[in-house]
């Protein structure tokens, strides 16, 4: 999932695009928990290959792609607090949330 952060503080420079980054050892759990798992790659290797292609494309378009590591338990807790499904929309919103939180720090 891709989330776009707000413009940097000075309003200039490339757009920063957050990329949900999943660890290989989490992939089986992801496939069992995410409500849209049937739309995800079967393996982490397939996901990684396509994600790297997407990052290269974003960079060609002048964006800075920033991988945002997703800790599965944190994502689940975040979704529970908000009463939302663990799906593509929630993952995108979570990436944006993480990016905004780090930007304020």
C-alpha–C-alpha distance, residues 104 and 87, integer Å: 26
Of residues 1 and 56, more confidently modeled: 56
Is the pLDDT at 6 greater than 60, yes or no? Answer: no
* pLDDT tens by residue, 15-38: 889 999 999 999 999 999 999 999
**3-state secondary structure string across 27-88:** HHHHHHHCCCHHHCCCCHHHHHHHHHHHHHHHHHCCCEEEEEECCHHHHHHHHHHHCCCCCH
Would the CA dihedral through 37, 101, 23, 55 be positive or negative? Answer: positive
Of residues 12 and 1, more confidently modeled: 12
With cut-offs at 50, 70 and 90, classify the pLDDT of residue 99: very high
Q: What pLDDT, on the 0 to 100 scale, is given for residue 8?
A: 47
């Amino acid at each position: 999932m891709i989330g776009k952060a707000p413009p940097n503080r000075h309003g200039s420079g490339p757009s920063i695009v957050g990329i949900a980054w999943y660890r290989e050892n989490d992939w089986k759990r992801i496939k069992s928990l995410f409500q849209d798992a049937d739309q995800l790659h079967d393996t982490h290797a397939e996901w990684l290959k396509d994600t790297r292609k997407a990052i290269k494309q974003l960079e060609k378009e002048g964006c800075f792609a920033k991988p945002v590591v997703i800790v599965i338990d944190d994502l689940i807790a975040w979704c529970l607090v908000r009463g939302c499904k663990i799906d593509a929309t929630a993952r995108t919103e979570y990436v944006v949330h993480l990016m905004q939180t780090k930007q304020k720090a």
